[in-house]
Chain A
């Protein structure tokens, strides 16, 4: 691998990321999948970096899942998104930061559509006005939440308490990154580092002391393709995608998988359990899985946040092996303290995948 070649390429894919005053829009599903991720993002921006982030209770789904499943026509999606823009405008913000990669893709696609077909934008403005009485300004800057963390990765490094260094060996902790398909595969110029060798997540790992591992199936979809998982009969395709990735990354012995999409960490995490139940196969060390983190969770860990405060106990694959390598102090007793009424009660353990 010629690292210089990647660096040369990254120069062509440096997007503008606003430095403050963000209108943050949450994902429909991340709060269920990884409930601590978005609150951790907000905490990092507001408390650690002292930035202005605002979110509105009036924000709704962007319709991305329905749009990509052909349930809603594009006109409807555009009008719903126009409403989000209107709420941003009414709130006095101009920099839109979606938490979700699908939303980021939907927003990007709509803004590009309007750039090339202004008459469509005009029509959507009329539809929104008719339906809600609202008007909107187009965001001056659109950046995914991972772009913002990427932008401030060195500022986070300055406050870092637990670098990505194996405490026992002193070696960098090894991470593989997995980028959501809708981040840059549709519009490579809209992603930090482009579509083929994105830098948005690998830049964080490098900055925080870790080592990024490239592996052959890095670009492969995680299996969260909407048509693959929405129809139950198609879910074999979904797990096959994830399994392909696990098999490909396994020989490199990664310490963790880093993601920036709602679906990817969900499936890369949960499918490890399913593969273990189906085939008795696990991909981490000593019967464990490979821990899967969102970028906010990783940022939270390096900043020294309590792993159970940022929701890592809801991961299917136990994160403890990574926490131990990073030298993070955690109380195992607190892991399931919110689980049921009895503090000592633990969730049922899988048959093969070793969990704590």
Chain B
């Protein structure tokens, strides 16, 4: 069979889905992206600037868009409702009625942001001036001034790391990997916009593992004066003036700390998306303990699911940065191309 006759269906049109589709179409496969929302781009649509360079998210989105604009069939507002495997083929039903054949499926169903109302003690959705990192990013994107709910300029701002991550109480033991550096990025941006404001980050560890992350962290302190306090928040409460009273342990000073901030920003972590859970169950994909998809080997079979012909890429397999998602998507495309050209991936043998 010619490459041109082989069809790959990519479920999920975020960063991973778009980039994998670009490479697969470049390699000559017929590629369809099925996206549940009305636009491609996933969470990136809502992010103004990206670490570590502070470049605009829409630039990356435009780059990803170029890859899919000509040779990839894009189905938006489309939900996969049924998948049947028949021999080497899959019959994928979309929106209950449309049936597509696929030789391989790539799942790029992504993550959902942690619902901060579940950390009830932080008061998101209850206190006026508790917001999340995406809420702040939306303020950045809108170009509006950063204000408290009553329109006043905040003088003291707190960032809470690890909200919904590394937290057994909400059943998320995993680290979401991007929040620490997002806090550094957003804290720096706030200091650029409101130089008079005092900014405090409440953290457990600062996981500055990525290239340039450590520089960002250093600059945020030396050039922008962001304060870092090692300790986890026990609770947040609303003061009479709607500022937020936070209780935290300063573990470096060895003392409990109580302070008020005008705006409290919760760095919400990653959870497997509803789509990841739904499609995974539909197909019988194995999940890891953390609820994300399980690959066949942590080191060597990173894009390979337990079902032959179904591949995985991006944040449906676990939290990762945009850079790593793009790399993983290309790796997923390579795995699919090898599989469709007859390569036995598990046994590393050409058929």
Contact = CB atoms under 8 A, between A and B. Distances in A.
A252 interface: yes
Interface in A211-247: 214-219
Nearest to B235: A219
A196 interface: yes
Contacts of A9: 117, 120, 125-126
A6 interface: yes
Contacts of A1: 126-128, 238, 242
B245 interface: yes
Interface string B236-254: 0111101001000000000
B138 interface: no
B65 to A, nearest CB: 37
Interface in B216-250: 235, 237-240, 242, 245
Contacts of A216: 237-239, 245
A57 interface: no
Interface in B116-136: 117, 120-121, 125-128
A195 B239 CA distance: 19
A194 interface: yes
A97 to B, nearest CB: 27
A252 B241 CA distance: 11
Contact of B127 (A2, A215, A219, A251): A2
Given A196-B120, A216-B237, A252-B240, A2 B126 contact: yes
B240 A251 contact: yes
Interface in A1-58: 1-2, 5-6, 8-9
A196 B121 contact: yes
Main secondary structure of the interface of A (DSSP, over half): loop
A341 to B, nearest CB: 49
B280 to A, nearest CB: 25
Contact of A8 (B125, B237, B239, B240): B125
- Place the interface of chain A in its size category: 10 to 19
A70 B246 CA distance: 32
B128 A197 contact: no
Given A197-B126, A216-B245, A5 B117 contact: yes
Contacts of B235: 196, 219
A34 B235 CA distance: 32
- Place the interface of chain B in its size category: 10 to 19
A191 to B, nearest CB: 12
Contacts of B127: 1-2
Contacts of B245: 216
A6 B124 CA distance: 10
B266 to A, nearest CB: 14
A165 B238 CA distance: 26
A195 B119 CA distance: 11
B238 to A, nearest CB: 6
A104 B240 CA distance: 33
Of B117, B126, B237, most buried by chain A (CB within 10 Å of CB) is: B126
Contacts of A252: 240
Nearest to B149: A2
Given A2-B125, A5-B126, A214 B238 contact: yes
Contacts of B121: 196, 219
A194 B123 CA distance: 13
Of B117, B237, B239, B242, most buried by chain A (CB within 10 Å of CB) is: B237
28 contacts: A1-B127, A1-B128, A1-B238, A1-B242, A2-B125, A2-B126, A2-B127, A5-B117, A5-B126, A6-B126, A8-B117, A8-B125, A9-B117, A9-B125, A9-B126, A194-B120, A195-B120, A196-B120, A196-B121, A196-B235, A215-B237, A216-B238, A216-B245, A219-B121, A219-B235, A219-B237, A251-B240, A252-B240
Q: 4 nearest interchain CB pairs?
A: A5-B126, A5-B125, A196-B120, A216-B237
Given A1-B126, A216-B238, 13 more contacts: A1-B128, A1-B238, A1-B242, A2-B126, A8-B117, A8-B125, A9-B120, A9-B125, A194-B120, A215-B240, A217-B237, A219-B235, A251-B240
